Structure 1
Amino acid sequence: MRSGKRIAAAALAVALAVGMFSGCGRIDADAAAVTVADGEDTVTLGYANFVAKYTQAVYETTYGSSLGEDMWSRDLYGNGNTFEEDVKSDVMDSLQEQYLLVHHASDYGVELTEEEKSAIETAASQFLADNTEKAIEQMGATQEYVEQMLTWQTISGRVSEAIRQQAQPTATEEDARMRTFTYVFFNTASITDDNGETRAMTDEEKEEQRELAQLLTDPANFNLGASSVGGTMDTYSYHPGDEDETMAPEVIEAADALSEGQVSPVIEVEDQGFYVIRLDSDYDQEASAEKLESLQEEQRDDYLQTTLDGWKEETSWKVNDSQWAKVTFDVPFTAAGAEE
């Protein structure tokens, strides 16, 4: 969840109500939540509060049923922070990056057309019309703030993409070379009996699995497929030399030793089971093309982040902690009509 820092504009379609309404009189909307460029500019507490409360509402309507009423006070990431603190930190990071992207928009020829500005104005009006009066007040939503959020989202997204397209990825076809093998897996970790109870396998049952796996080491038998002996069959692609976080290293090591068409001996992976694999392709063109695209996209993302990091170093961004602390997620939001 935490990776989704920027809120999608499409989420404005959600209609909200509040649980126990308590108003938002605790904040001074005109106070500075952030002082930018040594006082040359500010981000108002009113706007920062709205973005934070809107983010709160999106999380609650999306994850509230699974995370529970105490979601904001829990340490969901195991980092010693409450979920509220983590999300507020993400909101502030997103505000900083959006601010910088918007203020560099002219460098990349990005601007909104009059039609787009009109569409944003209409969308903001509709958002206010779709939500209850109490929810709007609890969020601190105004026509100005909603338009600003949509404007920043739109422009920052376009500038981000313009920056990414300026990157010159260095990933090569060799960097993306993928080998593909078919594997059949025989589980020895547990077994479900006729009563639906799960238990550990006995040594005898594990040996039976090994014997079934051994049958597939004959290429003729392997080609018959897993259904003939009860294993689980699938394919897997990997890049030689990479540390693989998904497939067991014993299996990757065995794959490295195979030529195309060869079938491996039985591979035992402790606490998992037995594998038998067949190398299908020493150079899988389709998988390699997908890997190359993925590597290039990662490098474009890295270039964007490097650009943003440079701007952050050049532009002071001082959060007014005492004001920002007044923004809390104490009052829950619900989807309008959910409690009717």
Structure 2
Amino acid sequence: MKTKKVYTFLMAGVIGMSALTGCGINKDEVVATYKGGKAKLGEANFIARYNQLTKGSLYKQQAAGDIWNMDLTGNGTTMADSEIERSLEEYHEMLTMQAHQKEKGVELTKDEKAKIAEASKKFIKDNKKDALEEMTATESVVNEYLTLCTIKEKMYNEIVKDADDKVSDADANMSSYTAIKIDTLQKYDPQTGQKSIYTDAERNKINETAQKISDEISNGADMKTTAEKYGYTTTESSYAKDDENLDAAVKKELNSLNEGQVSKLIKTQAASYIVRLDKKVDEKATATHRTQIIQTRKQQLYSKILKKWQKKDNWKVKKSAMKKISFKNDLSKKQTKKN
């Protein structure tokens, strides 16, 4: 999470229910210990409840019901349990970065400290007392959270400076193509959302249609018009040489084509394809892919350093304290009255 975004959200100050019972958490209780320090329950609870608030609003746009009590994995773990655990890992990560900031010469500037102090005061001022108690959100807790966020961001930037940012043209290259995909193994019923296997008779008929489409396009018919004529569509996409999502047979055929050339019918186990190579080098997609490769290298380097440091910090979670963090009350409901 970028610090700038944290500032923006905290200063918005639209959180909390109008009548919370309060979680009764002792913010000074230790939730975890590590070499050289202790993690406080107040900060851990704040991070978890802040994530409950921000992510809960997003989840509610995607699904109805009590999101946090859902067990989406089927292993007996609720969404709340998973998020609380992830939040504690996030806290651990930030504390790790703080513990090693001198190694990278990272310090907060006077301006950053001033912005953090301003955002912390505004957050406390703009939100209800009961909601703040629920989040264990004192000015010092919020200040500490924003401080850790800022250190983490600056540490990330310092660590990834050592990542390899050189990507060969061959590795970065993205080729663009247009495809018609004709499923030959199973069909999808949009009304029931169910899939079923085609019968041999259905499959034979589909294969005949696929061959007709291929023959017509080979004889000069427009690819898009022909696909629609038989109830199919064309899709435009791009691929790299290491693309694992594209069927190997399709990729092999694309690699053999010249720009503008259309393939014969490509048969795979689950579908038949007709593809046209549009550009051997799609400059826009290639530039994006190059950036993605570099970003992946940076994240991998950061994760490697983080793992190395955490392996030696003797982090131990106090489960009895962690269990006191609860998503029972919904912080994503808007306030209905003023203090």
* TM-score bracket, shorter-length normalisation: 0.7 to 0.9
Q: State the Cα distance separating 1:154 from its structure 2 match.
A: 1.4
TM-score after normalising by structure 1: 0.82
Q: State the Cα distance separating 1:8 from its structure 2 match.
A: 4.9
Moved more, 50-59 or 228-237: 228-237
Deviations 1:82-106 (A, max 9, x none): 2112111111111111111122223
Residue identity in the other structure for 1:244: E
Match of 1:232 in 2: 233
SS at structure 2 position matched to 1:234: strand
Match of 1:291 in 2: 289
Query: In 2 relative to 1, CA 334–181 (structure 1 residues): closer, same or farther, beyond 3 Å?
Result: closer
Query: In 2 relative to 1, CA 290–243 (structure 1 residues): closer, same or farther, beyond 3 Å?
Result: closer
Moved more, 170-179 or 132-141: 170-179
Match of 1:251 in 2: 250
Q: State the Cα distance separating 1:260 from its structure 2 match.
A: 3.7
Q: State the Cα distance separating 1:111 from its structure 2 match.
A: 2.0
Q: Percent sequence identity over matched residues?
A: 26
Q: State the Cα distance separating 1:337 from its structure 2 match.
A: 3.9
Q: Number of matched residues?
A: 326
Query: In 2 relative to 1, CA 59–19 (structure 1 residues): closer, same or farther, beyond 3 Å?
Result: farther
Deviations 1:130-185 (A, max 9, x none): 22222111111100111111111112111111111222246433323333323244
Please tell me the root mean square deviation across aligned C-alpha atoms, in Å: 3.4
Q: How does 1:262-301 map to 2 (within 5 A)?
A: 262-268=261-267, 274-301=272-299
Moved more, 290-299 or 260-269: 260-269
Query: In 2 relative to 1, CA 63–19 (structure 1 residues): closer, same or farther, beyond 3 Å?
Result: farther
SS at structure 2 position matched to 1:160: helix
Residue identity in the other structure for 1:23: G
Residue identity in the other structure for 1:258: L
Q: How does 1:65-104 map to 2 (within 5 A)?
A: 66-104=62-100
Residues 7 and 55 in structure 1, CA contact (< 8 A), matched pair in contact too: no
In 1, Cα distance between equivalents of 2:211 and 2:187: 14
TM-score after normalising by structure 2: 0.82
In 2, Cα distance between equivalents of 1:20 and 1:99: 33
Match of 1:150 in 2: 146
Query: In 2 relative to 1, CA 236–59 (structure 1 residues): closer, same or farther, beyond 3 Å?
Result: closer
Residues 2 and 149 in structure 2, CA contact (< 8 A), matched pair in contact too: no
In 2, Cα distance between equivalents of 1:130 and 1:67: 29
Q: How does 1:187-198 map to 2 (within 5 A)?
A: none
Residues 17 and 336 in structure 2, CA contact (< 8 A), matched pair in contact too: no
In 1, Cα distance between equivalents of 2:48 and 2:251: 45
Query: In 2 relative to 1, CA 78–210 (structure 1 residues): closer, same or farther, beyond 3 Å?
Result: farther
Match of 2:216 in 1: 215
Moved more, 27-36 or 134-143: 27-36
In 1, Cα distance between equivalents of 2:294 and 2:129: 47
SS at structure 2 position matched to 1:277: strand
Residue identity in the other structure for 1:175: D
Q: State the Cα distance separating 1:68 from its structure 2 match.
A: 4.1
Residue identity in the other structure for 2:92: Q
